[in-house]
């Protein structure tokens, strides 16, 4: 059985003080969670978040990581730096990174490899735009993105990674893929992993839905056989809403 994950991507929101306050509000609401709970605040908030989550079930994630250990990469943060402030997970290749900051399939792979080498768990994002879906390219595109992102990893390593399917057309728009659409595409990703890395990796890899999951639609999405959790955007910025997603089965 794959343990579900609900991860909150805070994007460019919250100061360190606001981070501490949100976590303090969230902790009692998710203390009985049956899933892995992850928050991914901005990098400047990670040390404060690490202190605030102590004694709770919440784990810490980052929103990005560079693929080099150190060097002349102004503005970047290495996996080792993240690990030094108690980060466990790191989002890799979010569509906003691809769209606004020239992230490519190649750099997604480089960052994923660096995260695994460092002992972090990558949450690797894949997904299609609306024109790509309308043209019928969804399955081929997410399969290709997945294979490139995982290239160079062993089956055992792939089994420990997390993939997030995020239809770009559903991020921050309030539009959500139907339960069936999300489940079918995540099934394609799982079949892709299975074909390349074997049945054990295919069964073990956890695949999340990352397109506007919220308290209103979480039960339907999480009832699907292939969906192992969610990468939550806007709903993760309010403790009550995020807790409702985390505790959807209670």
Residues acting as catalytic residues: 94, 166
Listed in sequence order, the residues at least 6 apart from 16 whose beta carbon sits closer than 8 Å to its beta carbon are: 44, 45, 47, 48
Listed in sequence order, the residues at least 6 apart from 99 whose beta carbon sits closer than 8 Å to its beta carbon are: 168
How open is the CA angle 247-250-241, to the nearest 5 degrees?
30
DSSP 168: G
Collapsed DSSP state (helix, strand, coil) of residue 86: coil
In which residue are the tokens 């908030």 written?
A: 45
Enter the tokens of residue 3.
């343990």
Neighbours of 225 (CB within 10 A): 9
**What is the rounded CA–CA span in Å between residue 20 and residue 48?**
6
Helix segments in the chain, DSSP class H: 16-26, 46-52, 79-84, 95-100, 105-118, 130-134, 138-150, 155-159, 179-197, 199-204, 218-222, 239-246
């Amino acid at each position: 059985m794959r343990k579900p994950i609900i991860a909150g991507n805070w994007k460019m929101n919250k100061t360190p003080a606001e981070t501490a306050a949100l976590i303090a509000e969230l902790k009692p609401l998710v203390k009985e969670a049956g899933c892995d709970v992850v928050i991914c605040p901005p990098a400047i908030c990670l040390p404060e978040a690490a202190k605030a989550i102590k004694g709770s079930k919440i784990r810490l994630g980052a929103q990005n990581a560079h693929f080099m250990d150190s060097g002349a990469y102004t503005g970047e943060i290495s996996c080792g730096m993240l690990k030094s402030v108690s980060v466990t997970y790191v989002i890799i290749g979010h569509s906003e990174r691809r769209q606004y900051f020239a992230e490519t399939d190649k750099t997604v792979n480089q960052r994923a490899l660096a995260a695994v080498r460092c002992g972090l768990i990558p949450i690797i994002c894949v997904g299609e735009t609306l024109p790509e879906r309308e043209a019928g390219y969804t399955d081929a595109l997410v399969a290709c993105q997945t294979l490139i992102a995982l290239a160079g990893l062993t089956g055992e390593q792939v089994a420990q990674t997390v993939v997030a399917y995020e239809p770009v057309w559903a991020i921050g728009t309030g539009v959500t893929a139907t339960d069936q659409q999300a489940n079918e595409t995540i099934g394609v990703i799982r079949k892709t992993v299975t074909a390349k890395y074997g049945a054990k990796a295919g069964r073990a890899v956890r695949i999340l839905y990352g397109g506007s999951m919220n308290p209103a639609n979480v039960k339907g999405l999480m009832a699907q056989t292939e969906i192992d959790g969610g990468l939550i955007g806007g709903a993760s910025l309010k403790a009550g809403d995020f807790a409702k997603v985390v505790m959807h089965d209670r």
